[in-house]
Amino acid sequence: MPKSMKIDYYRVLIGEEDQQNFDSIIEKISNFPNDESRNYFHNNIPIRLQEMEKREHLWIGDMVKIRLNDIPPKTKMSGRQIDIDLDEDEGLGEETAFLYDQDVRVLVLQRNYTAVTAAGFTSYFKYFGNVKKLNLLPVVKPEAYQRMEKMNIVRRFEIDFAGLQNLSIAKGSGKGANAMVDLANETDSPYQKVILSMGNQKGTIARIRSFVEEVLSLFKENVKKIKITGKEFIDGETEIIDLLEDRMVDIEELDLPRGDHDLARKIRKQALYRAWNNRIPELEMMFLDPEVEQ
């Protein structure tokens, strides 16, 4: 049965003080023995780099989340249920495929909320890379930022969050992120909605863009809405930019075989490669500087 696979694009950002690049971190972990030494507990659930290969400037691999608890029973079409017999160190492996282009420093990630999410991916490589700062910034289509740059007058900025739980990741990241953390802690609320009305204020778009990038890199999966309302001139037409709608996302339709995990893994990786290959001219235009050695 065909299945839709959503694919997200992220720019990998590592703090300058860490003096590392993401390519070296991947290579370091890929050289670990393929055993428990690759495991990391994210939200008390083990995740690991399961498989990795390098093709010239591309890393293509699979992350896996090992579901040890709350294992559902096998259920027949008749409704009969049978417990799955597993040893204590066994669980259900839920996989997330990824591709990393070291030239443009972009991560192409299968969106799979039941497996290793972008937040889990970030925590894993931050831990094993032993870096203080590693963030994934969602790639926004260039035309969205071009429209933003023309928006000389910002009338309204709206951002919605949901499921703000592990807030410690944002402390010390910046004034905007710290403010969000303080507000969520003070109200003890998992949901936050921030609306700024600005009249006909000019010159705010650069600060808003900086804040948006900061928030997206830290709270990727928790951000539910980012809308900016404004116009180019006072008497111009009002425009609304929805940055989540303008994120770079692709959808691949896959026909995954049942019971053949190796083939299914190969099909998912091929889908990521196709999506990346279609996007690479756009990504190179956005991020590749020919004068800077990669």
The per-residue pLDDT for range 115-149, each reduced to its tens digit, is: 999 989 999 999 999 998 888 888 988 887 778 77
Comparing CA positions, the residue from 186, 188, 174, 249 lying closest to residue 219 is 174
pLDDT value, residue 2: 76
Mean pLDDT of all residues in 196-215: 68
Comparing CA positions, the residue from 142, 166, 177 lying closest to residue 11 is 142
Residue 6 pLDDT exceeds 80: yes
pLDDT value, residue 32: 93
Our measurement of the distance from residue 171's CA atom to the centroid of its chain's CA atoms, rounded to an integer in Å, reads: 19
Tokens standing for 280?
């690479």
**Range with the largest mean pLDDT of 5-19, 22-36, 185-199, 254-268:** 22-36
pLDDT value, residue 171: 46
pLDDT value, residue 1: 59
Helices (H) and strands (E) in the chain, counts: 6, 14
What is the value of pTM for the model shown? 0.76
Mean pLDDT of all residues in 271-285: 94
pLDDT value, residue 64: 94
The pLDDT mean for the chain works out to: 81
